[in-house]
Amino acid sequence: MKHAPVPTTLSRAVRIFVCRPADAVASAISPAVSHADLSRNSFAGFPSTNGIGAWFEIEVAVRGTPELQTGYLATLAQLDRSVRDSVIPLLQNALFSTPDGLNPAPATLLVEMVELVSKKIEKPIESLKWSLSPYHQLTWSRKMPQQTTFSSIFEFAASHRLNDPSRTPAENAEFFGKCNKLNGHGHNYRIEVGVAIPVGSAFGMADLEGIVDRAVIERFDHMNLNIDCPEFHSLNPSVEHIAAVCFDLLKGALSDCPVELKRVRLWETSKTSATIEA
């Protein structure tokens, strides 16, 4: 049974290693040099190098209708080459050729990446996500072309006890299980904060991290949430409630900044998280 192609979004993560051109195993990318000659491990990064540099991951998403015969929306080789040929020279220039003090903001570079990659890919770009590290991401979306979304992940350690005063001790023990033990228990919480930044804004990673540190991390890190934090004196500190409180605190702390809080996701464990979205 054949299925007619339907509109589809295809995503491809492209890992790059940005080094000085002279440090690459082969010379700079050109029609005479194949990508296979420039990398010995494209899974980890591209190009291969004996020097130092910066590792990034770029995830491009394109949207369209796949071909009926091949089932392809685009070839992975086409997506890889389009990203690498566009992004590597741009970042090499930003990292190694721009005079000190004139480095462009990452959000500005992301918009340039979108423009450059768009010229090489025939299908419309739905989104472009730039992972500056495993814990920092910038995203451009066709749905919000005049904004970029920046997200950063933080960690804090805290203890809590889950208990509902309206229930009997036996009912609490049955409902919350081990989480109701009298002396509580602890978690290494991870919190991801995402904000929308207008294109051209000078607001950056250090600005966001300073605000999150003051509004959330300093407030809750190494605290007993039930006892030390007024926010939870009458509010059960479930992961859902903690995420909501963090969202409210950050919304207030960011109210005077040229950004919009979009999302807070809080992990209690690697398997359990709660997300609050604007």
> Which residues does residue 226 pair with via DSSP β-bridges, in sequence order?
none
Q: Give tens-digit pLDDT for 83-130.
A: 999 999 999 999 988 776 567 889 989 999 999 999 998 778 999 999
Query: Which letter does DSSP use for residue 238 in this model?
Result: -
Which residues, 6 or more positions from 59, have their beta carbon under 8 angstroms from its beta carbon? 11, 12, 13, 14, 127, 128, 129, 131
3-class DSSP string for 258-273: CCEEEEEEEEEECCEE
> What phi and psi values does residue 59 have, to the nearest 5 degrees?
-110, 115
Which residues, 6 or more positions from 42, have their beta carbon under 8 angstroms from its beta carbon? 15, 35, 80
CA distance 195 to 2: 43
Q: What is the mean pLDDT of residues 233-255?
A: 97
CA distance 18 to 87: 9
Question: How far from each other are the two terminal CA atoms of the chain, in whole angstroms?
Answer: 43
CA distance 147 to 153: 20
CA distance 216 to 236: 17
Q: Which sequence positions are flagged as catalytic?
A: 179, 222, 268
CA distance 84 to 17: 10
Residue 269 has pLDDT above 50, yes or no: yes
CA distance 114 to 126: 10
Closest CA to 30 of 92, 85, 110: 85
> Which residues does residue 187 pair with via DSSP β-bridges, in sequence order?
158
Q: Give tens-digit pLDDT for 186-238.
A: 999 999 999 999 988 889 899 999 999 999 999 999 999 999 999 999 999 99
Query: Which letter does DSSP use for residue 147 in this model?
Result: E
Question: Which one has a higher pLDDT value, 137 or 32?
Answer: 137
> What average pLDDT is seen over the chain?
89
Residue 24 has pLDDT above 70, yes or no: no
Indicate the SS3 state at residue 68: coil
- For residue 87 the two structure tokens come to 């992004």
- Read off the pLDDT band of 31 (50, 70, 90): very low
Q: What is the mean pLDDT of residues 50-77?
A: 89
Question: Which one has a higher pLDDT value, 8 or 184?
Answer: 184
Confirm if 276 and 262 have CB atoms less than 8 A apart: no
Q: Which domains does the chain possess?
A: 8-133 (3.30.479), 146-277 (3.30.479.10)
Which residues, 6 or more positions from 37, have their beta carbon under 8 angstroms from its beta carbon? 25, 26
Count of other CB atoms within 10 angstroms of residue 150: 27
CA distance 21 to 19: 6
Q: Give tens-digit pLDDT for 153-192.
A: 999 999 999 999 999 999 999 999 999 999 999 999 999 9
Count of other CB atoms within 10 angstroms of residue 65: 12
Residue 34 has pLDDT above 90, yes or no: no
pLDDT at site 2 = 63
Pinpoint the alpha helices (H) of 148-220: 169-176, 205-212, 218-220
pLDDT at site 131 = 96
